Structure 1
Amino acid sequence: MEAYCDVKRMTVTIVGQDMGCGQNLYIVGLTQPDIGKPLNRWKTCNQTWQKTNDDNVEWCSYDCDCSGVCEQVMLLRWPVTISESSWTLCDISEQCNDVCDEKYEWRFRESCYHLSPKKKNQHDAVTYCNSLGAELITIETMDEFEYIRMRLESSDADSTWVSATRINGTFFWITGAELEANSTMWSENQPDNWEVCVEIRCPFHYYVNDIPCDSGNHPLCEFQP
């Protein structure tokens, strides 16, 4: 069964409900249409989540992997009518107590993220994040990248700054790690034109793109408590 969810702007597949967790929560598998692989932000109280494979249900383990006490939090609820039955679909997210300040809207493992509603050039974006005690985001794994892409697809931001810049022909994150030219984070045929700064761009399906540093993008700040 499939239902389209305007809030998340993604395809949601419902595979079950109330798996003995003591709460009437619907368990869903969330997929990215352009990748077709499940995302682990939808899960049950036992740090597991489900995806559908035709008519079969597969269980996959998922480590919460964050500091503090992890809780399931029901963020949003909206009705979905499927096969003449009315269900309530819940957006379930992990939260870790007393870790992320309220100004950080998103969390993935040990990082907290804040997306500024106002566009700035790259220099001012760095200054803005620093004023929050944070840095422009450094993406360390493809899991983190897919999580950020999923979040941006559900936001109003068309482009965001990341911390990578070109130094002597090579891109480096602010941590000193290299963003390799053959990384799958890059959009098709990127990088090009020898531009210095790097963005995540909506018209490029939220993959990274090199761009002049005086362009206007939303700062995406990352803080690690």
Structure 2
Amino acid sequence: MSAIEPVEGTHNPGREAVFDVTRYAVAAEAIVEAGRFLYQQGWSPATSSNYSARIDGEHIAITVSGRHKGQLGAGDVMVVDLAGRAVQSACRSSAETRLHTILYEVFPDVGAVLHTHSVKATVLSRLLTPGQPLELEGYELQKAFAGVETHESVLTVPVFDNTQDIGALAQQTRDWFRAHPEQPGYLIRGHGLYTWGKTMADCLRHVEAFEFLFECELETMRVRP
């Protein structure tokens, strides 16, 4: 095991910690590739969104705050511990970092988390009745999510109110998913989607499936108000 080199030119290397450089590099590359794909789909415009991938039981790789997601490079991915503290870097991760680390704590098998800002997720979350989750039922594509074997089921997607108090929101999401561990994602009202998976490929599949289902729901609302 060895530690990644501090970011060149920084004067505050952050917390000292040891983690596997190779695993960091693999995680960072997966994040960079995901960013290109999600930007091309229009689901992560400009500097919105944030992505992460697990390095080990104590560290994750996560996008640096304010970076264009369609133009990510290795220097745009940093390391934080599960408390959200930067490790050997003076860079700053997203203000929503704790929403990522909570998921890695609650779900030890999660290997990647993606937060996107698509038009459909944003609009649909604003149309739903406050306090009520989105319930997806009868769609064949529900089977894109792990553990769902039939369209004859209900996929519940909680919708949390948007807030600048990320600590409180992180606690709220942690409590909900401890009680509902089978669910693969959630919406923040007027904000976007959070979803996760064992691998980055699983996570990207979830984003695609959610986007299709969100579009179906919006189209249904349009033709059948």
TM-score (norm 1): 0.30
Greater gyration radius: 1
Larger helix proportion of the pair:
2
TM-score (norm 2): 0.30
Compare relative contact order (CA 8 Å, sep 6+) and give the higher one, 1 or 2.
2
